[in-house]
A = this chain, B = another copy of it.
Amino acid sequence: MIVHFAAGAPVEEYVRRYDGIRLGDAVVTSSKHKEFDPAYEPYVVKKFVAKDDVQLASRAYEPQTRLLDLGRGVKIGGTQNVTLVAAGPCSVESLEQIEFSARFCQNLGIKMLRAGAYKPRTSPYTFQGLGLEGLKLLAQMREKYGLLIITEVRDATHVEEVLEYADVVQIGAKAMYDHGLLRRCGRSQKPVLLKRHFGATLQEFVQAAEFILSGGNANVALCERGIRTFETKTRFTLDFSGAAYLKTHVNLPLFIDPSHGVGWRWGVADLARAAVAFGCDGVLIETHPNPAKALSDAEQQLDPDEFSALYQSLGAVAHAVGRKIV
């Protein structure tokens, strides 16, 4: 059995797991790693647990889905058999808007509020998010409504802020390859939800998670949110086949995002129910007080009535597959 330690990896844990490795066995691979953490050096070994560079995330390394404690009593993965619903608008737009959403979630019994403050827009000529101001509004909602906050970090220039304000740091699809982010999150213990880039193979997706895991942060969940294909009637193609691969081969809790996965309001409810029956550990669903006025992703956000109806229907589906909605 073989493991290759990366910079800053918690060596003792590996050693504990593998009989065949003793601390004295370790060999330095390359002086280039020094930049990250010189202390790890004597422990790096040239050994792999699995082929293809998926190591710590693979079920060959740890068969059971990792348990993630997200705070305020919410745990996913492990033997919890729960599916977490995180809901909220695409972007924080104003105090009124986000407070409407927070109260709406609280009333339904939803425990995690999602909303973006740093938006990775494709155009420089559109709304770019409220930035730090948005993070502060989210923190207010956490205090006032007792909600967990998940929000996106766009790039390495503001990662410290997001680490400070969020309960779960979301690395969005477009930032999945951002080494600056991945490495910084690996030196934190904050839970990270890593979304798959729409052009990333499953292999690359899990390898991006390995950057965080091997850096020393074991609290990582994955999110399938749709890949880019030739189809244009939907904005993305939600890759349930890929999700099936991740669920069976990878030990990280798995989220599915039906809102981005289809990109149009008409598809979200059926896909969300499919995701719950599929047996994922969490779903992210966008809902906005008034989608027609949304500053981003107007077409895919559910209005409050649509979302309530969907949310009410999820419990029975979860129950049919031995799970519970939290």
**Chain A residues within CB distance 8 Å of chain B:** 4, 6-7, 30, 32-33, 35, 48, 53, 55, 120, 122-132, 154-158, 174-175, 177-181, 197-204, 207-208, 210-211, 214-215, 226-234, 236-242, 244-245, 247-249, 261-264, 266-267, 270-271, 273-279, 313, 316-317, 319-321
Q: A295 CB to closest chain B CB, in angstroms?
A: 9
Residues in B with CB closer than 8 Å to A238 are: 240-241
The reply to whether A240 and B271 contact each other, CB–CB distance below 8 Å, is yes
A271 CB contact (under 8 Å) in B230, B232, B244? B244
The reply to whether A203 and B233 contact each other, CB–CB distance below 8 Å, is yes
Alpha-carbon distance A230/B230, docked complex (angstroms):
4
Alpha-carbon distance A273/B247, docked complex (angstroms):
14
A124 CB contact (under 8 Å) in B211, B230, B266, B321? B211
Could you jot down 12 A-B contacts, CB within 8 Å? Answer: A35-B131, A122-B204, A124-B211, A157-B180, A158-B180, A174-B177, A227-B230, A229-B239, A231-B242, A240-B261, A241-B261, A277-B278
The reply to whether A242 and B232 contact each other, CB–CB distance below 8 Å, is no
The reply to whether B53 and A210 contact each other, CB–CB distance below 8 Å, is no
Q: A286 CB to closest chain B CB, in angstroms?
A: 15
The reply to whether A231 and B237 contact each other, CB–CB distance below 8 Å, is no
- Kindly list the 7 A-B residue pairs having the minimum CB-CB distance in the complex, ordered from nearest: A199-B199, A244-B267, A277-B277, A155-B180, A174-B177, A53-B123, A234-B241
